[in-house]
Structure 1
Amino acid sequence: MESRMEEDIIKERLKNYAYCEDGLSKTKIGLKEVYNSSPTARSQAKHLCAGLEEFSEVELDFEGLDWMGQGFAHQLFIVFANNNPNVKLVIKGMSDDVKKMYNHVMNTK
């Protein structure tokens, strides 16, 4: 479950964007700024992704997160990505354990 602070930070992400002629183009989300601990739940990913379909590119910075849960990863990298093929997810700062979960989810599509 997200804290009020996490919800406020997610809403603030719209202030960190690049604008182009067609509308919103890019945004960057530092996940350590959003989550007090490693994200695990599918519901956290759904909340995080709300509104991201408006962007053509979303940079997700995992710097400082030690781990992520399978439900979170699957919702973000499989469900959201499949439902929004025009949104490019750019991944940065994954630790080895976060990369392992990412690879696990990507290999079990």
Structure 2
Amino acid sequence: MTTHFKMIFTTCKDEAEARSLARALVEKKLAACVNILPNMGSIYMWEGEVAEATEAKLLIKTKADKMNDVFLTIKELHSYEVPEIQVVEVSTGNLAYFNWMDEVLN
């Protein structure tokens, strides 16, 4: 079963920013649900140096036709100069959950 749903990942500087972004996405009906994984350790390269930070990861559940608006909202509200935005195709899953997502995102 192929679906028209996407999972979008982003990270935020802290849980407060993550909650604010998640709430905005749900209120604008751009996401049916956003999970927040707080206090995640990250090690990454930034401006030629290895950096380390505690961040919050967002798992944004949306539909393909909302994806560009999700991107724009993340870029508008995010504090990072270069926010992570990665998209994962949702190929299959619980049909009842997908029906709920369709209902919520209409």
TM-score calculated relative to the size of structure 1: 0.31
TM-score by length of 2: 0.31
Higher percent of residues as helix:
1
Q: Decide which structure has greater strand share.
A: 2
Which is greater in Rg? 2
